[in-house]
Amino acid sequence: MRSHYCGQLNELLIDHSVTLCGWVHRRRDHGGVIFVDLRDRAGIVQIVFDPKQPEAFTLAERLRNEYVLQIQGQIRRRPTGTENPDLPTGQVEVVANQIDILNPAEPTPFQIDEVNINEEVRLRYRYLDLRRPTMLARFQLRAKITSLLRTFLNEQGFLDIETPMLTKATPEGARDYLVPSRTHPGKFFALPQSPQLFKQLLMMAGMDRYYQIVRCFRDEDLRADRQPEFTQLDIEMSFIDETILKNIMESMIRMLFTEVLQVELPNPFPSLTYQEALLRYGSDKPDLRVPLELTEVSDLMTAVDFKVFAQPANDPQGRVAALCVPQGAKLLSRKQIDDYTLFVTHYGAKGLAYIKVNDMTAGREGLQSPILKFLPDQVINTVLERTQANSGSLIFFGADKAKIVNEALGALRLKIGEDLNLTQPGWKPLWVVDYPMFEWDDKEKRWFSLHHPFTAPKVQNIAALEADPIHCQSRAYDMVLNGSEIGGGSIRIHRTEMQAAVFRILGIGEEEAQEKFGFLLEALKYGCPPHGGIAFGLDRLVMLMVGAHSIRDVIAFPKTQTANCLLTAAPSVISPEQLRELHIKVHTTENVVN
Summarize the annotated binding site as residue ranges.
Answer: 172, 218-220, 227, 451, 485, 492, 537-540
Contact by Cβ (8 Å): 237, 398: no
SS (H, E, C) 304-368: CCCHHHHHHHCCCCEEEEEEEECCHHHHCCHHHHHHHHHHHHCCCCCCCEEEEECCHHHHHHHEE
CA distances to 329, 404, 421 from 336, in Å: 11, 21, 15
Long-range contacts of 61-64 (CB under 8 A, 24+ apart): 61/29, 61/34, 62/101, 63/24, 63/27, 63/34, 63/36, 63/101, 64/24, 64/27, 64/104, 64/105, 64/107
- What are the backbone angles phi and psi of residue 271, rounded to the nearest 5°? -135, 140
Beta bridge partners of 321: 296, 398
Residues marked as binding for ATP?
A: 218-220, 227, 485, 537-540
- The residue count of the chain comes to 594
- Phi first, then psi, for residue 217 (nearest 5°) are -135, 130
CA distance 356 to 358: 6
d(CA 494, CA 44) in angstroms, rounded, equals 56
Binding site for L-aspartate, residues? 172, 218, 451, 492
Q: For residue 199, give Cα distances in angstroms to 167, 215, 232, 535, 580.
A: 13, 14, 13, 11, 36
Nearest to 325 by CA among 351, 287, 357: 357
End-to-end CA distance of the chain: 52
Q: Is the peptide bond before 268 cis (omega within 30 degrees of 0)?
A: yes
219: number of CA atoms within 13 Å, CB side? Answer: 11
Secondary structure class of 204 (helix, strand, coil): helix
The bridge status of strand 43-49 relative to strand 92-103 is parallel
What residues have CB less than 8 Å from 429, skipping those under 6 apart? 253, 265, 266, 269, 270, 479, 480, 481
Alpha-carbon dihedral angle through residues 287, 288, 291, 293, given to the nearest 10 degrees: 70
Q: How far apart are CA 30 and CA 51, in angstroms?
A: 12
Alpha-carbon distance values, 290 to 6, 114, 181, 282, 547 (Å): 43, 33, 51, 13, 18
Q: Which residues contact 133 (CB under 8 A, 6 or more apart)?
A: 39, 44, 113
